[in-house]
Structure 1
Amino acid sequence: MARERKFTDEQLFTATKEMIINDGYEVFTFSRLATILNVSRGSIYKYYENKDELISEFLMYEMNRFLKEFSSLEKGSDFKTQFDQLIDFIFQHSNIHQVLEVINQIPVNNTKRVTNNKSILSEYYIEMYKQFQSFIDLGRKENVVKSNLPSAVLLGMIFQTIAIPNHFNIPQNEWIASIKEVLGYGMFNQ
């Protein structure tokens, strides 16, 4: 009779995410993770050969969850409504870019499982780009977004807003509203 697993995927991935965000890839170890989960290192090694297998599985889980939630945003509304939803969504997932950057730290020569996971993550990135590109295309179709601005610049500006430090502790709702205004209308008086 097989012994029951001592942690759920959600517990494992939540602890993994916290470690990656707080400490980074280099400091991540099964020993520290096992301590957080209150299990032995061996119980983690039963499922993952090394930290790269676990981290790549976690990244697939995170990206899949992000894409599902993004897909569930109302797509039938006009561009400005979708823009508001998108900015709110990005701030709800403000650490996604920090988490996903870890994939580039995983060594290329790794296990077959990691290589496969990285391939799937590449497909997720393409899917994410397609969804965001369709958002920009809608803005252009409605003649709201300037056609001469490259999509990469627009998407980069949108996504990098979550990295702007709020040194003056402006309340979150005011902070987000100000970012929406600057992105949507610029900073110059018309």
Structure 2
Amino acid sequence: MGRKQSFTESELLDMTKKLVLEHGYDGFHLKLLSEHLSGARSTIYQYFSNKEEIVAACMKRVMVKVLEKALAIDETDPMDALEQLLLVYVEESALHQLLGQAGKINVANSSAAAKDLEFIDEAHTTLKVQLSRLFERAQQNKGLRQDIPLPVLIGVFFNLIDTPNMMNIPAPDWGKLLFQMWIGGARS
């Protein structure tokens, strides 16, 4: 008789995220996943058919979380909204690293994975539109410098997300500190 199922779909996706971030898509496999979960490897197949489906579902789950938080931001004040958006991205800073693996997923092996990746692409577009709108409004309201091209402002903003938090400051405080650094620069 086999081992009793002892992990949930949520636990499976959490571990998938952790392992894909540690090992990359190519280094991630179902045996590795099952070694990190308590329960039979066959339990994985009760949730997903293959590696492609698991990883795509994991990516979609992270994207849904980011999208929900981003779209809930009050955009009345574009500068405040940009700070809140940075906090969302800092809290899920692994999103871009994780989504960077999406191109490796062979969607020919799974229509479910293809649907999840399609959702991710659409959500990514929605986030880009929101970000562009906020930056344009902030620049129009003179909240951002007019002499710096918008793509430069956006590029530096996104690079903040990858700034190593060597002091292990809690994510909300870290995001605020990064935003203050971005908006104020390093001059005294």
Q: TM above 0.5, one fold?
A: yes
TM-score (norm 2): 0.82
The 3-state SS of whatever aligns with 1:25 is: helix
CA–CA distance in 1 between the matches of 2:13 and 2:46?
16
1:100 matched to 2:126: no
Provide TM-score, normalisation by structure 1.
0.81
Deviations 1:115-167 (A, max 9, x none): 22222211111111111112112202312224564544333211211222345
| RMSD over aligned Cα atoms | 2.6
Equivalence map 1:24-173=2 (5 Å): 24-76=24-76, 78-107=77-106, 109-147=108-146, 149-167=148-166, 169=167, 171=169
Provide closer, same or farther for how the CA distance between residues 112 and 18 of structure 1 changes in structure 2, counting only shifts above 3 A.
same
Distance 1:87 1:115, change over 3 A: closer
- 1:184 is aligned to 183
Q: Is the 8 A contact 2:19 2:28 kept in 1?
A: yes
Matching residue's letter, 1:35: E
- Identity rate of aligned residues, in percent? 22
Distance, in Å, in 1 between the alignment partners of 2:174 and 2:57 is 34
Which blocks of at least 5 consecutive residues in structure 1 are unaligned?
Answer: none
Q: 2:23 matched to 1:17?
A: no
How far apart, in 2, do the equivalents of 1:175 and 1:66 lie? 17
- Structure 2: state its 5+ residue gaps: none
- 1:21 partner amino acid: L
